[in-house]
Every structure is written in C-alpha cells, then in structure tokens.
Amino acid sequence: MKKYALIYKGEVEENKVKNWIETNSIEKFLLQKNNVFSWIEKGPDLDIIKKIENFGGFIANVVEYECNNNGNPIITGNPPKRKIKTKDQQLTTSQIRAVFTKLKEIDAKPGNFEETKKADLIMMKPLVAYAAGRHDKKGIEVFKDYIINPGIDKVFEAENSEEMGRRFKNFVKLLEAVLAYHKAHGGKDK
C-alpha cells in the first residue's frame, strides 16, 4: 500500500514516524473543490490564499512511502539509523508553467470566450491528463484532480459567454497563485 506526505528533510527517523505522518499527511494539504469553485466564481479570496499556499507547498514537496498491511510505514535500516524510505513525487515548476503559459495564450486570444477560447480550454483537460500519465507522479495527479479539472468544469457552468470569460480570468489567477506558492516552497524546475 502506498501513501503520500510532505518530505521531511530526507528520510524520516523511526522515532519521529508517528508525528511525521500526523503532521504531513496528504489530507491536510489538499485544496477542497469548493475552495476552487468559490475562487473561480467570486475571484481571489484571502481565506483561500492560505489553503493555496499549503497546496503549493504540498505539490512542491510530496513524497511516497510504502506501508505494510496494517497501514504502518515500512521502516528500513538498522538501529539507530532506521528510517522510512521515501520516493519523490513532486510536481515540477516547469510542469505548472506549461499549463499556466497555455492558459495565458488562450487568454490573449482576441474575441469573446465562447467563440475563440472555449475549445482550447476544453483541451487543457486531456493535455494535463497526458502529462499526469506520462510522469506518473502524485503531484501532477493532485494538480489535475484538485485544480485543473474542477476549475475548468466550474468555468463552463457559467450561464453566458461573459460570465465564462470572467470565470476563466479567475481560473488563470488561481493557477498563478498555485505556481507562485509552489515555487516559494522550493518547487524544482526538473
């Protein structure tokens, strides 16, 4: 069984395992879809910004660790240097930037949203799904499932082209915030 958490300055020492799991489990860092929906409908929000900061830190530093059948982390090594073995699962800055750049290109197209931008935004879902499958990392999977897909869906729930355009601009701002906090928390370029 595989689980995910934030990195803890290398591998985790055995006596710190329980605290590490409680402090760094994935559930504490995921951005809830209702936060994404609220941002896209209403625009940037100070309450949601802190959650985006935590999320950016998570996708910049996520690691995978293996558990036994009881759900406890598998610990390797001999005392006193026993540790949880971890595997990097981070999303890179260049992966987020590729999506953000594509969104900015869509945004720069002249004309109203429905006529000139809708099809390109729809195609962002398969583009990110491809990247998630190609790289097989938890960071990009979480980015796709908690930001990209629900964000695009919320843009298209708008009742008219003008509202879609406004929501799209808010979606671009959301991605800009995620990119900034990812980099601020040590997101790597490769």
**Mean pLDDT: which of 15-19, 86-90, 170-174 is highest?**
170-174
Handedness of CA 3, 8, 12, 17 (dihedral sign): negative
109: left (phi over 0), alpha (psi -120 to 50) or beta: beta
Instruction: Tokens 């395992």: give the residue.
Output: 17
pLDDT in tens, 91-134: 888 999 999 999 999 999 998 887 889 999 999 999 999 988 88
Tell me if 74 sits within 8 A of 160, measured CB to CB.
no
Distance of CA 95 to the CA centre of its chain: 11
Q: What residue spans define the domains of the chain?
A: 2-184
Q: Please count the other Cβ atoms lying within 10 Å of the Cβ belonging to residue 22.
A: 10
Which of 72, 83, 62 minimizes the C-alpha distance to 6?
62
Across the range 126-147, mean pLDDT stands at 89
Q: At what angle do helices 149-156 and 33-42 cross, to 10 degrees?
A: 40
List, for residues 33-70, the tens digit of each pLDDT value: 899 999 999 999 999 998 898 888 878 877 776 777 77
- Lookup: tokens for 108: 């720069």
